[in-house]
Amino acid sequence: MPDMLDLTSDVRTLTARIVDIESVSGGERALADAIEQALTALPHLTVYRDGDAVVARTELGREQRVVIAGHIDTVPIVGNVPSHVDGDRLYGCGTSDMKSGVAVQLKLAAAVPEPVHDVTYVFYDCEEIEAERNGLRRLAAQHPEWLDGDFAVLMEPTGGYIEGGCQGTMRVEVTARGKRSHSARSWMGHNAIHEAGRIIDILRAYAPRRPEVEGLRFHEGLNAVFVSGGVAGNVIPDECVVSVNYRFAPDLSVQDAEAHLREVFAEFDVRVTDAAPSARPGLDHPAAAAFVRTVGSGQARAKLGWTDVARMSELGIPAVNYGPGDPTLAHTKDEFVVLDAIVDAERRMVGWLTGAEPQDSAVVESGAGEAGAA
């Protein structure tokens, strides 16, 4: 019997049910089937499917269309499925990142048949793995019209805060060169691993920027993430490669980031291996400003990691991150979400889609500090 989702159930119960349908990246079919079946039963929605991505749209002729998107995949399970409740917390793989946000999406789709804006709900696959397989990227390439909108909300875990924009990410390989020789006659060579110490010194002394972009404070980072070098136990190595990850603020383009790294490591060979653009907050857009006012009590902070708001930005759609999960718990064995935080997110989003007055109560704390990084 196929997995079923009851969209009339409480959002906390629905979250647990979604968590219990395993959907590790590349294995989302059962959950995508359940989401498609549940949404197809709602007469006010038009439902589309591409692979294991499901898109549902209202067609009410409103002046504006908003996109509410969330990925349905998780990182690999480590004995944390099925879910379980302990006190005010729901534990399980994906509870925070981001099946609680997906549950809120589904509840909105069912409970608000006539929103003040037309809404496109996007449930996509393969966000937690390499960018080439990202379901939102596939939809943007193959069905861009499905994603048309004036404003977007990514239901990424933010601890109940609105997080504007996102930082870009770039990985480079910085190579130190040497001269190979026998280790018994090391003075005849030049040790590339020793030379790589200069790269580490540069990183150790590096002072990351903390620029303010459109009123939000970002915090960059430049760090070594891998080191590789060596030939054999009796050989002085002639090459050592330090892999470096740069998280850059949205006042820089990918090209700006690359130029900066080439300047920082001017004495070494630098090769870019991966890059994803940043996204500016865009909170001055009327739809974004209304969302911050209604859902976030007028408050927003910077997203200190990369999310698919960058992909929305590339499509010309201003976007924010907002979800009940705690970003610092994402991908952990003891991942959990505070149950009341899910209820609070649903309440605030329903208020926004129905045109209610701005919410003025504090967000439900999720037990962690600043925004996490993807």
Query: What is the distance between the alpha carbons of residues 294 and 349, in angstroms, rounded to a whole number?
Result: 9
- Indicate the angle between helix axes 100-111 and 339-354, nearest 10 degrees: 40
SS3 16: helix
Query: What is the distance between the alpha carbons of residues 272 and 141, in angstroms, rounded to a whole number?
Result: 24
* Residue pair 170/225 in contact by the 8 Å Cβ criterion: no
SS3 301: strand
Q: Which two tokens stand for residue 175?
A: 């190579």
Q: What is the per-residue burial (b if ≥16 Cβ within 10 Å, else e) of 319-352? A: bbbbbbbbbbbbbeeebbbbbbbbbbbbbbbbeb
Q: Residue 358's closest CA among 301, 311, 300, 298?
A: 298
Query: What is the distance between the alpha carbons of residues 33 and 168, in angstroms, rounded to a whole number?
Result: 33
Query: What is the distance between the alpha carbons of residues 288 and 313, in angstroms, rounded to a whole number?
Result: 13
Query: What is the distance between the alpha carbons of residues 362 and 349, in angstroms, rounded to a whole number?
Result: 14
- Residue 306 CA to its chain's centroid (Å): 6
Element at 28 (helix H, strand E):
none
- The number of beta carbons lying within 10 Å of the beta carbon of residue 369 is 10
Q: Which two tokens stand for residue 247?
A: 């998280």
The set of catalytic residues is 73, 127
Q: If you search the block for the tokens 């294991």, which residue do you land on? A: 52
Element at 337 (helix H, strand E):
strand 336-338
